[in-house]
Structure 1
Amino acid sequence: MPLAVYVLGLGIFAMTTSEFMVSGLMPSLAGEFGVSVAAIGYLISAFSGAMVVGGPVLTVGLLRVPRKHSLLALTGVFLVGQALGAVATDYGVMLLSRVITGVASSAFFGVAIAVAVDMAGPERRGRASAVVLGGLMIGTVLGLPATTVVDQFYGWRASFWAVAVVTLLAGLVILRVVPSGSRPEGMSLRTELAALRNGRLWAAYATSGLLVGSVFAAFSYFSPIFIEVSGFSPTVVPVLLAVYGAATVVGNTVIGRFADRHMMPILTFGLAALVVTLSGFALFAGSQPVTVVAVVVLGLVGVSMNPALATRVMRAADSRPLVNTVHTAVICLGVGLGSWAGGLGISAGLSLTSPLWVGVVFAVLGLASLLAARKSVASQAPQLV
């Protein structure tokens, strides 16, 4: 893989850490702004909602801009939003910060994946996606627990500033190593929209959104579940989050190796494993050993499915910036809907394990969507012959 592919992963690492860090800072942010834990969970939904709506719009506006310039501009916008969050004095300002960073993050994901796949070549799409999206996994392995630890020792504002510094570093490295290139050829709003008129593509999008929604219905509320249901000390939470992140890195690496050849079996197994694991976690969350096992399995078969999801999308509609950004938006819609739906149960007075059951529902729907797509392809095969 070209060095620039790994550098793009560094940028996604910083942005992913920013998106997910709220889940590890929930108690501190709730106390700072005088709101409920569920309200802080909605900050994750706001970030994701901004990615869903603003990311594709911003990508369209940058279609004719050289991709390196786009990456640098998006990094700058993200940095502004992150700094705004670090100085936020009330919930409204923090909400605005999450919207700005969400818009920039979504567009960055789409452009970064397109650049990485172009440099790696079509025969290594799955592996290139795995490397770039590895930044997402490392964000959970290192970024999320690191910001949680920084919060415990120096406060949540220090966590936000730390991510801002990493974002600045990523921008400087992108400036140095990503090839400049010329203006993109064949890029226009008409051609990008034409690529979206594809039923197989939207079927792939649906599975992606439901799978990620399943994971984040649970993941968004890991910290309170660990402390108040499983009985872990708050100081152990960063360790558990690091274990989860390490499992996602392992899963992402393995799946990235095999996604180009075994994409559909991998996705089917992953969704089925999510149904079983989330159900067991919900039933036995009071058991610390069960919690640890569930955290590991969810890391292995959760967001680590991203290389297989991305491969399916690119097979359906090639690797175009808008296609990738819309895929990112759909995934973020799943993140937002999952964390929002999980919060509804808590707000309604149900137990802290209710988000886990919400995750089960999302996973069942995702598995059904995948099986329906496979059945449709099988029924069309004789006609194609």
Structure 2
Amino acid sequence: MTEAGAGRRLIGVLSVANFAIGMGAFVLIGMLVPVGDSFGISPGRTGWLMTTYALSYAVLSPLLVSATGRIGRRRILTIAMAIFALAHVASAVAPTEFTLHLTRIIAAAGAGMFTPVSASVAARLSTPQTQGKTLAWVVFGLTLAQVLGVPAGSFIAYTFGWRAAMLIVAVLALAMLPLLWRIVPRGLNFQPVSLRELGAILRNGPMMLAVTFTATFLAAVYVVYTYFAPLMENGMGYGRDGITALLLMFGVGAVLGNLMGGWMADRIGPTRTLTILCIAQIALLPLFSLLPLPGIVLALLVAVWSATGWSFLAGQQMRIIALRIQAAPVLLALNAAAIYIGAALGSAVGSGAIALGGLMALGVTGGLLGLLALGHITLSRRISG
């Protein structure tokens, strides 16, 4: 096999592996109601399972990536996926709400090692001219999980129970182990970033301002996305089939947006791309406070909202790698952590919005956070360039 063919094969395997990661991370979105019913808790309280995962990822990811920097990338990717798989087996048999929170922490540790390391491998093996496209393909699996994983998990949870959905995630992750061990090159080592260097990056104001834009932007998205299923039940009267169909539309938009984002970032630059995407979220999110809407209008809204929400990944990764290429693995880990900080923040703010104004307050709240994200990227551009 040619070097180019081997590279494409590696990117494909990493993308499929990230599909399993993405399904495990986001599958709760489509089954908040079944999980809540199982433990006798409200959707708002069930949403804290997303917050637990997100905060655990945010704390553990940069620490684990730094601590394992001297270990070969093939070994780290395989270990991380094994941890993720076993955590989902444990989730499937969790007897209590507290136990399920613990298993989500373990799953976050595995994902927190896998995704940033896979992105750093892709960035190192790509050319500057194709870096945006390559990164977009690696995280394509995360967005494809929105197309297939989340709606499939929702359908399975409503039909066979949420524990069956967790087991399917575990099976997918276990199936990736031999592929990762065979396809990822042996001896692929990067210059490790020590915990002291991690501390230096954390104290670098302009650098952290750039990285944390991810959290601000995704907080706006997750205000609505975390509570999407109960919002559709309450605002549209949808059940299993309607929610699954809309999650499928969200997934299609996410895939298209991921590819569009890489294309945009390569052509107009990452910062312009991110600014445009903020403006789109400000315009689209408040529309979810106008439910009920005609079915076709709602489906188009969900698809466009998703496309503009998931177009940011490649451009943001390009932007932060350019800040300090030598520290790319840890910067990508911090960026991945910021993804889950955004998810946690959005979930928490959404829970507060529901408590104060009901489910219909979610859209307006998300739009206000989108305005905050626009201010964030504008300030970061002025400081960091």
TM-score range (shorter-chain normalised) is: over 0.9
Pair 1:307–1:222, CA change in 2 (3 A): same
Task: Tell me the distance in 1 between the aligned counterparts of 2:384 and 2:181.
Answer: 43
Q: Which residue of 1 aligns with 2:231?
A: 225
RMSD: 1.8
Is 1:370–2:383 an aligned residue pair? no
Question: How far 1:231 sits from its partner (Å)?
Answer: 2.4
Task: Tell me the distance in 2 between the aligned counterparts of 1:283 and 1:261.
Answer: 35
Q: Which residue of 2 aligns with 1:129?
A: 135
Gaps of 5+ in 1: 379-385
Task: Tell me the distance in 1 between the aligned counterparts of 2:26 and 2:88.
Answer: 13
Q: Which residue of 1 aligns with 2:121?
A: 115
Contact 1:52-1:329 at 8 Å conserved across structures: yes
**Correspondence 1:209-288 to 2 at 5 A:** 209-262=215-268, 263-288=270-295
Q: Which residue of 2 aligns with 1:309?
A: 316
Gaps of 5+ in 2: 1-6
What are the superposed Cα offsets for residues 205-253 of structure 1, whole Å, 9 maximum, x if unpaired? 2321111111111101111111210223331111110111001101111
Task: Tell me the distance in 1 between the aligned counterparts of 2:188 and 2:264.
Answer: 33
Contact 1:144-1:241 at 8 Å conserved across structures: yes
Task: Tell me the distance in 2 between the aligned counterparts of 1:267 and 1:117.
Answer: 20
| Greater alpha carbon shift after TM alignment, 109-118 vs 225-234 | 225-234
Contact 2:17-2:141 at 8 Å conserved across structures: yes
Aligned residues: 377
**Match of 1:226, as an amino acid?**
M
Contact 2:26-2:150 at 8 Å conserved across structures: yes
Indicate the SS of the match to 1:25.
helix
Question: How far 1:182 sits from its partner (Å)?
Answer: 4.7
Q: Which residue of 1 aligns with 2:59?
A: 53
Q: 2:367 aligns with which of 360, 368, 383?
A: 360
Question: How far 1:13 sits from its partner (Å)?
Answer: 0.9
Question: How far 1:307 sits from its partner (Å)?
Answer: 0.8
Task: Tell me the distance in 2 between the aligned counterparts of 1:375 and 1:84.
Answer: 46
Contact 1:342-1:356 at 8 Å conserved across structures: no
**Correspondence 1:8-157 to 2 at 5 A:** 8-157=14-163
| Greater alpha carbon shift after TM alignment, 266-275 vs 282-291 | 282-291
Contact 2:353-2:362 at 8 Å conserved across structures: yes
| Greater alpha carbon shift after TM alignment, 321-330 vs 280-289 | 280-289
Is 1:322–2:342 an aligned residue pair? no
**Match of 1:67, as an amino acid?**
R
Task: Tell me the distance in 2 between the aligned counterparts of 1:377 and 1:333.
Answer: 22
Question: How far 1:56 sits from its partner (Å)?
Answer: 1.5
Task: Tell me the distance in 2 between the aligned counterparts of 1:114 and 1:377.
Answer: 22
Question: How far 1:193 sits from its partner (Å)?
Answer: 4.4
**Match of 2:348, as an amino acid?**
W
| Greater alpha carbon shift after TM alignment, 288-297 vs 172-181 | 288-297
Question: How far 1:59 sits from its partner (Å)?
Answer: 1.3
Q: 2:351 aligns with which of 343, 349, 363?
A: 343
Task: Tell me the distance in 2 between the aligned counterparts of 1:314 and 1:377.
Answer: 13
Percent identity (aligned): 27
Q: Which residue of 2 aligns with 1:158?
A: 164
What are the superposed Cα offsets for residues 87-109 of structure 1, whole Å, 9 maximum, x if unpaired? 11110111111111112111211
